[in-house]
Amino acid sequence: MPDMSPPLVEAVGVSRRFGPKPDLAAKIALRLGLTKPAPIVHALDNVSLTIRKGEVVGLVGESGCGKSTLGRVIAGIIPQSEGKILWQGAVRETMKPAERRAADLATQMIFQNPMAALNPRMTVEEIVSEAPRTHGLIPKGKRAAYVDRYLRFAGFDPTMKGRYPHQFSGGQRQRVNIARALAVQPEFLVCDESVAALDVSIQAQVINLFMELRDRLDLTYLFVSHDLGVVEHISDRVAIMYLGRIVEEAPVEEVFRRPNHPYTKALLAEVPRIEPAKRRFKPVEGELSSPLSPPKGCHFHPRCPFAMERCRTEIPKKKEIAPGHLSACHLNDA
Ligand code: SF4
């Protein structure tokens, strides 16, 4: 049954391009034909994604497919070039400043490298209390108790809050990052490869922590990862990205049991599995095309064993092939 709870956050037709902004001299040179336009990276191309309240949506794809860019755009860290982001049904860009601040605070991001995300000159207590103090969330005289509460939520011993980030392991630092994000009382966490830099045993602990926090604090997640095993474990629904587009989207069981898109099938073949039935897909052959000049039509066509003539020219539309299961492949039109 598709989940009918209200959307918390939606990306609608979002594109994001990266390239140098030409100064006046460059614009004149371009107009006179003295120079070529600077190369543009097409990181996202007309992406739409809905995340419902309480859901964990896993966003997967190979390195360079645009998944981290989509996470950052949805989190409001970088702006989109086209399209819109809706928070609880309201377009983020047209919100009043106070509403926008509340939406920004309700969305927090947890990054891959826990050390790079922490100020090495601040103690854990200062790190965790900085943002909630700025936003007036800490009751007067209760700073220590407030910090301790959120450190405990993150599974971090509050008696160590006077120490600095370099005095901790990677797993403990990531717990500090999680406590810092939780301390502003968010509703939605964007986790960008948040366990990728941790040892496997610590990864499992942090993933379990995310799941506990979801129930305890009623959180919604966008979980960006290149690791299908992690995504299968943590997600309710999975979106598969290929070169700036979402090519398949479905409940987690459906994606792993009945993948539809040739790219998803190829990706699943790369996950080591015990069940023989799931070993039958071939690995993704060939290289990811450059986002500087993505192929026309279906972006996957240069690597797809089923590519037809129309795949080279016509962009496949996402089509519902089963309840809640969308796939963008011309094979579904046959
Ligand atoms: Fe392959 Fe064509 Fe489907 Fe793209 S649209 S995945 S090239 S069959």
Query: pLDDT digit string (tens) for 66-76?
Result: 999 999 999 99
- Ligand 1 atom at shortest distance from the alpha carbon of 330: 5
Cβ(135)–Cβ(186) below 8 Å: no
Who's near 200: CB < 8 A, 6+ residues apart? none
User: What pLDDT is attached to residue 280?
Assistant: 40
Q: What is the pLDDT of residues 159-184, one digit of tens each?
A: 999 999 999 999 999 999 999 999 99
Cα 144 to middle of ligand 1, angstroms? 56
Tokens of 161: 């809050």
**Whole-number Å distance between alpha carbons of 119 and 304:** 45
Cα 317 to middle of ligand 1, angstroms? 11
262 Cβ below 6 A of ligand 1: yes
297 Cβ below 6 A of ligand 1: no
User: What pLDDT is attached to residue 271?
Assistant: 61
Pocket perturbation via mutation, ligand 1, pick of 300, 319, 321, 332 by most ligand atoms within 8 A of CB: 300
**Whole-number Å distance between alpha carbons of 227 and 194:** 11
User: What pLDDT is attached to residue 286?
Assistant: 75
Distances (CA, A) of 239 to 96, 202, 245, 290: 31, 25, 10, 21
- pTM over 0.85, yes/no: yes
- Ligand 1 atom at shortest distance from the alpha carbon of 304: 1
Per-residue confidence at 31, pLDDT binned at 50, 70, 90? Answer: confident
- Ligand 1 atom at shortest distance from the alpha carbon of 301: 7
331 Cβ below 6 A of ligand 1: yes
- Ligand 1 atom at shortest distance from the alpha carbon of 332: 3
- Ligand 1 atom at shortest distance from the alpha carbon of 308: 2
Q: What is the pLDDT of residues 187-224, one digit of tens each?
A: 999 999 988 888 888 888 999 999 999 999 999 999 99
185: closest CA among 148, 227, 223, 138? 138
Who's near 121: CB < 8 A, 6+ residues apart? 164
Mean pLDDT of 48-55: 96
SS3 content of the chain, % helix, strand, coil (to 5): 35, 20, 40
**Whole-number Å distance between alpha carbons of 178 and 165:** 13
Q: What is the pLDDT of residues 76-126, one digit of tens each?
A: 999 999 999 999 999 999 999 999 999 999 999 999 887 888 999 999 999
